[in-house]
Structure 1
Amino acid sequence: MNTSNSPTTGAGAAKNPADPVLGEARRAAGDVAAEAKTLAKDAQAKMAELADDATQQARSFAETNKSRIAEQAAAFSGALGKAAAELEQSDQGTMARYARDVAHGIDDMSTALRERGVDELMQTVQDFARRQPAAFLGAAALAGFAAGRFAKASARRPAGPQTGDGTAGDTDFGAAGSWRGTGHYAQTERGH
């Protein structure tokens, strides 16, 4: 005869008092898991929406600046063409040829910027980077250097009103000195 206090199995088995609690815990865990899945899907949808918005804004920004850059490139190409003509007149044919070649290249780039969409331009750049990685890195470094110089030069411009000679008016830039109407940066002494 079995005298142990172990529960019996079968139809007449006594129920464990923890069973209802375990069942409720399992249902709660299932509810939490379902809610977590719903939240994850919602977050993923929101992230995709934000990414699409950012992509559209980047495209719009690129399209706007593409036109501006194309105009500036065309103007620069024209200036190089004039410089090439002047070089030819002063018997510097080799330099004139180089200047004209660069002007044609810039003019071609300007035309491509005007005629192609942003996606097509990006594909062209990616293709070039795959075919000529060293040239691409060199061009990227040169572009970065030029952008840095441009930013540095732009930061030095005085923000004051312009006078008739193209220089800034009497605008004070703080303790280090001030701009005067002469267009020169004058050091000033301040008692600090």
Structure 2
Amino acid sequence: MSDVGRAQQTGQAAREQASATAGQAGQAAGQVGGVAAEKARNVAGQAREQAGTAVRDLQGRLREEARGQTERFAGTMRQWADDLAGLAENAPGDSPARSMAAQAADGGHRAADYLDKQGLEGLLGDLQSFARRRPGAFLGGAVLAGLVVGRLAKAGTQQGRSPDRQPAAPARDEAPLPPAAAPRVGLPGPPGV
């Protein structure tokens, strides 16, 4: 075999070896890419799972807080109703205030019992249902409730002030002119001036 033949064989063998190496490298790259894609899917799945868990935990905490607030509100309402019932018991027998206090106490007890039984979800569901059935009445009630809350807030801030304290007079932008500097209009000056 001549040197040219051996060189061709060596070149052919090198090409075959390079082709096999390139094929193996391609397979290895495909495997690495597949493993990387699988790892990325796993990480994304874990992130979605953790996000879902965090959202569920937050929703649970919010429900617990709402439940606690509702229970406290129902307790406060029950206390007010008990106070009104006490007022009704101590009022004279034929007094209109007695019947109004008794009715308000009864309504307060029923509302507190409703909140204990239905909770915030039941209250919100009933409000939504009422708003769909009678939107005008719902909006009117909301406006009325807003006015009552505003009046109560205003009364609370006024009650917080002491009665002997008067609000300060507003500051004036300009100081009055002193009497000597005031211009004279239409008055004659003293003789000889």
- TM-score normalised over the length of structure 2: 0.50
More helix by share: 2
Larger Rg: 2
**Higher RCO (C-alpha under 8 Å, 6+ residues apart):** 2
